[in-house]
C-alpha cells in the first residue's frame, strides 16, 4: 500500500476508535471536602482523557439543612462554582437532572433557569441532547441522552412520559442513555426505586432499545446486571454523606465510596470507569450488545 494511502487508512482507523467521553456525577452540591476531592479527580482524569460534557444526576445543590433551601440560587457560587467553574472555563458543558433536594426552592426553578451552569434545556427539567455530528456512525447519531425529571407529578409527569415516548421513537442513535435522579431500580441501603416512573416508561425504554440508565439519589455506586437489553447504574457519591449499599443478586457490584463515573462511547461498545475521591479506579467495565443481551434471570427484585 502506498505510504499516503496507508497514512490515510491509519488516520481514519484512529478516528474511528476515538471515543466520545463524558462524566456523570450525582448528589454533589454539599460543599463538603469530599465534593472537592471528587472534583479534583475529575480534573485529573480529564487531563488524560479529555471530555467536554458532565451529566449531573440530581441533588445538584443541597440546602442549609436537610429539608430547606436546596436549589437556592444564593448557594450556587459556594456549592457549584467553587468546584466546577474551572471545568466550564475550559469548555466543559454541564447538563443536569432535577433531584428531590433541588426542588426545595421554587421547585428547582432557579436551576432550570440557569442554563449557563446546569444546562437544563426544557422548562420542566426534561430534555434531549446528542453527541456532536463529528461522532456520527454511518449516518446515525453516536449517542442520544434523555434527561428526565423524576420529581414531577400529575399532568407534568404525564407530559414528560408522552414527550419521552415521542423522542425515543425519533432517535436513530447507536446508543441511548437516560439520566435522572431517582433510580428505576436499585440495591437496598437507602432509597427504594422510582416505581411510578419505572412503570410509566419501562415499555418505551425497551421498545426503543435504550441501553443505559444513569441515576443518583442513593449515596453510593452500583452497577446492576443487564435486564432486557438495558443496564442501570447509580453514581450518587459526588459529595454528600454516604450510605451503606446492600449486596444484591441483581447487582454486579455496590460500593460505599465517593466517586465519579467516566464514560467512553465507541461505535461498538461503551466503557465505564469509576474513580474514587483519591484517584483509584475501582470499576472498569465495557458493555457491548452481546453483554446487554445476557439478561439476569429474576431481576430486578426491587
Q: What is the pLDDT of residues 26-52, one digit of tens each?
A: 999 999 999 999 999 999 999 999 999
Range with lowest mean pLDDT among 8-12, 68-72, 269-273: 8-12
* pTM (2 d.p.): 0.94
How much is the pLDDT for 2? 56
How much is the pLDDT for 17? 76
For the segment 276-287, the average pLDDT, to the nearest whole number, is 98
Topology, domain 19-292: Purple Acid Phosphatase; chain A, domain 2 (3.60.21)
How much is the pLDDT for 302? 76
Say what percent of the chain tops pLDDT 70: 95
How much is the pLDDT for 75? 98
Domain chopping of the chain, boundaries: 19-292
Q: Mean pLDDT over all residues of the chain? A: 94
What radius of gyration do the chain's Cα atoms show? 19
How much is the pLDDT for 9? 41
For the segment 106-134, the average pLDDT, to the nearest whole number, is 97
CA distance 111 to 79: 12
Amino acid at each position: 500500500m502506498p505510504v499516503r494511502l496507508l497514512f490515510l487508512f491509519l488516520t481514519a482507523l484512529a478516528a474511528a476508535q476515538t471515543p466520545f467521553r463524558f462524566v456523570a456525577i450525582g448528589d454533589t452540591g454539599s460543599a463538603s471536602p469530599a465534593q472537592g476531592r471528587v472534583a479534583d479527580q475529575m480534573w485529573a482524569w480529564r487531563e488524560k482523557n479529555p471530555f467536554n460534557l458532565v451529566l449531573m444526576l440530581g441533588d445538584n445543590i443541597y440546602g442549609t439543612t436537610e429539608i430547606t433551601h436546596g436549589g437556592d440560587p444564593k448557594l450556587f457560587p459556594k456549592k457549584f462554582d467553587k468546584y466546577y467553574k474551572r471545568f466550564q472555563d475550559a469548555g466543559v458543558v454541564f447538563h443536569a437532572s432535577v433531584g428531590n433536594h433541588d426542588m426545595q426552592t421554587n421547585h428547582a426553578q432557579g436551576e432550570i433557569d440557569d442554563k449557563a451552569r446546569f444546562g437544563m434545556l426544557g422548562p420542566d427539567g426534561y430534555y434531549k441532547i446528542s453527541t456532536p455530528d463529528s461522532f456520527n456512525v454511518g449516518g446515525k447519531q453516536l449517542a442520544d441522552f434523555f434527561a428526565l425529571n423524576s420529581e414531577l407529578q400529575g399532568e407534568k409527569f404525564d407530559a414528560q412520559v408522552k414527550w419521552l415516548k415521542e423522542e425515543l421513537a425519533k432517535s436513530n442513535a447507536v446508543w441511548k442513555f437516560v439520566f435522572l435522579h431517582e433510580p428505576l431500580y436499585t440495591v437496598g441501603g437507602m432509597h427504594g426505586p422510582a416505581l411510578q416512573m419505572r412503570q410509566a416508561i419501562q415499555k418505551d425504554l425497551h421498545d426503543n432499545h435504550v441501553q443505559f440508565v444513569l441515576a443518583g439519589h442513593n449515596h453510593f455506586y452500583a452497577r446492576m446486571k443487564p435486564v432486557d437489553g438495558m443496564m442501570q447504574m447509580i453514581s450518587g457519591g459526588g459529595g454528600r454523606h454516604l450510605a451503606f449499599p446492600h449486596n444484591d443478586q441483581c447487582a454486579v457490584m455496590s460500593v460505599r465510596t465517593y466517586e465519579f463515573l467516566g464514560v467512553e462511547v465507541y461505535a461498538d461498545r461503551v466503557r465505564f470507569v469509576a474513580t474514587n475521591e483519591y484517584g483509584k479506579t475501582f470499576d472498569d467495565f465495557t458493555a457491548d450488545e452481546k453483554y446487554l443481551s445476557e439478561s439476569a434471570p429474576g431481576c430486578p427484585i426491587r
